[in-house]
Structure 1
Amino acid sequence: MTMLTIDNLVKTYAGEASRRAKSRSGTDRTAVANAAPARVFAVNDVSLEVGDGEMFTLLGPSGCGKTTTLRSVAGLERPDSGRIAVGERILFDGDGSRTTNVPANQRGLGMVFQSYAIWPHMTVFDNVAFPLQVRKRSARPGKREIQERVAKVLETMELGHLADRQATKLSGGQQQRLALARAIVIEPPLMLLDEPLSNLDAKLRESLRYELKRLQRELGITSIYVTHDQIEALALSTTIAVMKEGNVLQTGRPREVYERPNCRFVAEFIGTSNFLRGTVASREGDLVDVDTDAGRIRLESPVRVPVGEEVIAAVRPECFEISRTGWGNRPNEWSGTVTNRAFLGDAVDHIVRVGQGSIRVRGNPAISIEPGTEVHLATDPAKVTLVPVG
């Protein structure tokens, strides 16, 4: 069942040139008023479907349009055009003769901000109870039901023992859990989370990732999660949509997006990749041989590319094996020289000179090979991705 549908969503803003011109005086300002203003696409014809119970993540760098998309769903931004529906309920429709735009306070969605946005003058209990207490009288639960619902949510968030404490006297992690509790207590059909862990230190952020995943699985709340953190997206998500410059480049399961990126940007943004540029030497079914500066590499790809076409073969560093002695007759086995290495704690990176290029290899921290050592590399054809040039 589809919980959220976004169709052809567009949101633009005035470009830099227009804003600068509008600040001028006299004839310049008049000329600008008569000219069509330049527009910048924050969200450019985005269409998405989010299934019931999913943790759907919008992932991308700053300025890619992920937060604008989320705020459009929340009702905090008014799109130029498109359609947004939660279940059968239309929240925004800007393509008909009459625009539908349900106000943010009537959408009934849960929202968790990056800055927590808790009320400092209230206790933990009162912060969570407030969204229920300010509902219209006809929809407001009774005092006993509010007490029970707030107590249940606080216990779920492991904040029950802090119900009477002032919100400002909580730690950063506790404040973020409080913000989550306040969003959950209204039992929303859809939860919107705008980089909720970015203000926490690395260790706390990691522990809260697992807490969020546990809560989302146990409560079954459909959630839209915005982040620029690739590890966070891979750890939390049911589905990831990678965005760049207002466009969705790829949507899929975390493993699919990581292992089979459909373009160079996705391969570079999620993790690290070796990009081996070359030309297709031969093809037999899904097996493709590509001649690169590092040597010939074989890969498996359903993408039909003609012999002689220029392509890029992408290989994650952890998909290479490294050995001082080699293996013999493997399809993607090369010899090279270690030029550098770096100990990363849970892995060791080796930079290996192969042919005219360099390849990054990430492996077991117990294996550390000195620079200048002759080594052999190998990778499985199934672990090599064909990426379009450009």
Structure 2
Amino acid sequence: MLRIKNLVKSFDGERRRRSRAGGDTGRDRERVYAVNDISFEVEDGELFTLLGPSGCGKTTTLRSIAGLERPDSGTIEVGGRTLFAAAGRGRPVNVPANERGLGMVFQSYAIWPHMTVFDNVAFPLQVRRRGQRPGKKEIGERVHRVLSTMELDDYADRQATKLSGGQQQRLALARALIIEPPLLLLDEPLSNLDAKLRESLRYELKRLQRDLGITSVYVTHDQTEALVLSTSVAVMRHGDVVQLGRPREIYENPNCRFVAEFIGTSNFIAGEVVARDGERYTVKTDDGQLVLDSSAAMPTGTEVVVSIRPEAVEVGRTSRAGEVPNEWTGKVLTRAFLGEAVDHVVGVGRHEIRARGNPDVSIAPGTEVYLRLDPAKLALVPVD
């Protein structure tokens, strides 16, 4: 459906010149690469998420697909149709944004405040060229069908600004869907909502996307949002895609420390690979050995970091040494009740390891405990 190949987008920037004494001696112009030679594909019916911190290039990538930014090089294709191709082997192509036929939902919704709900949704059809514009009756039928899908049919005659935040978000989505686009682009559409509403709308958006089967590219910095909504996730950093895969794969098997830190919470323990048998590794750390399973290719002697998710750590008051691998002893430093779970922070040597478990298990600070680390739930990542 969507194919991005070798996409590059840079901007003019400034870099301060410093004297040897540390003084500011002026500024030099330099190119800042917001998108740095990235490639990926999105299949029909997928919800593909670009995830990363501010400034990583995710919104620039989305705007390039929409035609709101002109890349320096690369190609963008949707459904076999070339929307952008830089000058090179063939003639350059840059289809204007209003001719790409894509739907887009902005972070601010960008609904027209002087129009009713019905008119907001109908407008993209009403401004089409004469030969492509549906009749008045068809426009009315399509608008009411989309509003019904969004559960907004009772608000058709209401001014758009008199809707709640969640309803305005659904209105913006309805307006994007009315043109029946081959690709829907969403730029952090839930970020302006309060936490409770944002959580409920995540599942509603996922249901709608699945039921309608519309191919979507979603931009967010919210890791939970990406895990809940996505078919596939591309984690971006400094204009690069550092890891691409299914949400569970990226969460359970991050390929670098940045991904492990950005997606969820992790404990990190530095060590050295001292033995390997297929995908079973033994890693020597300052506080003892760890045995784990990993598909990473790390030869013996490699310095590595073991990433341990809090839910992969079992805390107990009694030892099971000899029955399970990776049992360490430590002392509870603090605990926090989270409602659905309890977090314990346990001191083990120089490390403070966070463990998340059943809310019925709450161990007081100062208690000596045993930590058990499941080899199948530990991840091996290279030292950055």
Cα shift at 1:202:
0.4
Matches of 2:15 and 2:206, distance apart in 1: 44
Residue 376 of structure 1 aligns with which residue?
A: 370
CA contact under 8 A between 1:5 and 1:50: conserved in structure 2?
yes
Return the match for 1:48 from 40, 61, 69: 40
SS of residue matched to 1:16: strand
Alignment of 1:228-243 (within 5 A): 228-243=221-236
Return the match for 2:345 from 320, 328, 351: 351
Deviates more, 1:169-178 or 1:95-104: 95-104
Matches of 1:170 and 1:306, distance apart in 2: 59
Look up the equivalent residue of 1:210 and give its one-letter code: Y
SS of residue matched to 1:38: strand
Residue 283 of structure 2 aligns with which residue?
A: 290
What do residues 295-343 of structure 1 show as CA deviations (whole Å, max 9, x unaligned)?
1100112223222221111110101111001223211111111111112
Alignment of 1:153-232 (within 5 A): 153-232=146-225
Provide the aligned C-alpha RMSD in A: 1.4
Deviates more, 1:332-341 or 1:302-311: 302-311
TM-score with structure 2 length normalisation? 0.95
CA contact under 8 A between 1:281 and 1:307: conserved in structure 2?
yes
Matches of 2:209 and 2:298, distance apart in 1: 42
CA contact under 8 A between 1:83 and 1:95: conserved in structure 2?
no
Matches of 1:302 and 1:182, distance apart in 2: 45
Unaligned runs of 5+ in 1: 19-27
Residue 23 of structure 1 aligns with which residue?
A: none
Residue 10 of structure 2 aligns with which residue?
A: 12
- Answer yes or no: is 1:66 the counterpart of 2:58: yes
CA contact under 8 A between 1:74 and 1:109: conserved in structure 2?
yes
SS of residue matched to 2:325: coil
Return the match for 1:85 from 73, 77, 82: 77
* Residues paired across the two proteins, number: 374
Cα shift at 1:374:
0.6
CA contact under 8 A between 1:276 and 1:294: conserved in structure 2?
no
Residue 22 of structure 2 aligns with which residue?
A: none
Matches of 1:52 and 1:70, distance apart in 2: 17
Matches of 2:242 and 2:194, distance apart in 1: 30
Alignment of 1:105-144 (within 5 A): 105-144=98-137
Unaligned runs of 5+ in 2: 17-25
SS of residue matched to 1:224: strand
Deviates more, 1:71-80 or 1:9-18: 9-18
Cα shift at 1:167:
0.6
Return the match for 2:326 from 329, 332, 352: 332
SS of residue matched to 1:203: helix
Matches of 1:69 and 1:287, distance apart in 2: 39
Matches of 1:146 and 1:69, distance apart in 2: 32
SS of residue matched to 1:85: strand
Matches of 2:219 and 2:373, distance apart in 1: 34
Residue 380 of structure 2 aligns with which residue?
A: 386
Dislocated runs of 4+, deviation >3 Å: none
Matches of 1:247 and 1:174, distance apart in 2: 35
TM-score with structure 1 length normalisation? 0.94
Look up the equivalent residue of 1:136 and give its one-letter code: R
Residue 75 of structure 1 aligns with which residue?
A: 67
SS of residue matched to 2:301: coil
What's the % identity of the aligned pairs?
71
Residue 25 of structure 1 aligns with which residue?
A: none
Look up the equivalent residue of 1:360 and give its one-letter code: R
Cα shift at 1:353:
1.2
